[in-house]
Amino acid sequence: MKVIIENEMITCNVQYGKRKKLSIHIDQFGFITVKAPKGTSEEVIVSVIESKGKWILEKIHAIGVAKETPKAREYHADGKFLYLGTERFLHELIEINELDEETLKRNLKRFYINSCKSVIEERVKIYQKQLKVNPKMIEIIESKAKWGSCSSDRNLAFNYRLAMAPIDVIDYVVIHELCHIHHMNHDRSFWRRVGSIMPDYKEKEAYLARYGHLMLL
């Protein structure tokens, strides 16, 4: 959802669920999530966003996400790394006792690769049933250029850095690549199929475009 506040366009990810009150969350990168009760009208959501407009803009401007330079990673107990969309301390992700920096780097990368494989395989099982497709193989890769790919042989590949993204963003990449099994091009049929499973897929694309440069080791 896009809302104009003081002549500035902001994008919000709206999530509906079983809850009594509407709430607005802004993560450490400035990504805005609105959690609303099921059935809440768009007019009500916009009204609440506008009422919090000053706070939202101040928070976003303070974060300065779009221009932020990724900080050098600190490989010690309290070093912070993204995992499934949330910053976690290094010691929460891997064993760190008496290990040197190079070993920690290797072990953390292995953790992301293994975690990505587990999460991707789980999400593929969910969405391949909905899309009625059957991928031949799933591979976890390292890439600076793409988040996922699908070959004409139905082989899927996913960037291990996806383990740093929120689950709904991972779901988008999974759905995107599964849809390529029947639609190898990005034509209208392809995007209609993606949208039939994830109507707000453009918001997930926007997340990757805006924060992908921060999802690094």
Residue 33 lies in a domain: yes
Residue 100 vs residue 66, higher pLDDT: 100
- Over residues 170-213, the pLDDT tens digits come to 999 999 999 999 998 889 999 999 999 999 998 898 888 888 88
pLDDT at 75: 86
Residue 72 located in a structural domain? no
Among residues 42, 67, 92, which one ends one of the domains?
Answer: 67
Domain extent for 14: 2-67
> Do the domain assignments include residue 156?
yes
Residue 74 lies in a domain: no
Residues linked to residue 155 through DSSP beta bridges, in sequence order:
137
Same structural domain for residues 53 and 145?
A: no
Residues 97 and 21 reside in one and the same domain = no
Q: Are 174 and 133 in the same domain? A: yes
Angle separating helix axes 53-63 and 42-51, nearest 10 degrees: 70
The verdict on 184 and 101 lying in the same domain is: yes
- Whether residue 69 is predicted with pLDDT greater than 60 in this model: the reply is no
Residue 67 clears pLDDT 60, i.e. is over it: no
Same domain (yes/no): 145, 108: yes
116 with 39, same domain?
Answer: no
Judge if 55 and 96 occupy the same domain.
Answer: no
166 shares its domain with 194: yes
Report the candidate in 101, 73, 92, 88 with the shortest Cα–Cα distance to residue 28.
88
Whether 24 is in a domain gets the answer: yes
Q: Rounded to an integer, what is the distance from CA 184 to the centroid of its chain?
A: 23
Once rounded to an integer, what is the mean pLDDT over residues 95-113?
A: 93
208 & 101 share domain: yes
Q: Give me the chain's average pLDDT, please.
A: 90
In a domain, 178, yes or no: yes
pLDDT in tens, 71-100: 667 888 888 999 999 889 999 999 998 899
Q: 160 and 113 in one domain?
A: yes
In this structure, of 3-12, 129-138, 166-175, 176-185, the range with the lowest mean pLDDT score is 3-12
Same domain, 102 and 158: yes
User: With a threshold of 0.85, does the pTM exceed it?
Assistant: no
User: Domain total for the chain?
Assistant: 2
pLDDT digits (tens, 9 = 90+) for 17-26: 989 899 998 8
pLDDT for 29 beyond 70: no
The residues facing 23 across adjacent strands are 35
Any domain includes 104: yes
Rounded to whole angstroms, the Cα distance separating 83 from 142 reads: 16
In the chain, % of residues over pLDDT 70: 94
Task: Say what the pLDDT of residue 13 is.
Answer: 86
d(CA 51, CA 5): 10
In angstroms, rounded to a whole number, what is the distance separating the alpha carbons of residues 100 and 102? Answer: 6
Do 60 and 125 belong to one domain? no
Domain-ending residue, one of 32, 67, 102? 67
Residue 201: CATH number of its domain: 3.30.2010.10
Residue 114 pLDDT greater than 80, yes or no: yes
Strands 2-5 and 23-26: unpaired
**Residue 56: which of 121, 130, 4 has the closest Cα?**
4
Residue where one domain finishes, among candidates 10, 33, 67: 67
Q: For residue 75, is it within any domain?
A: no
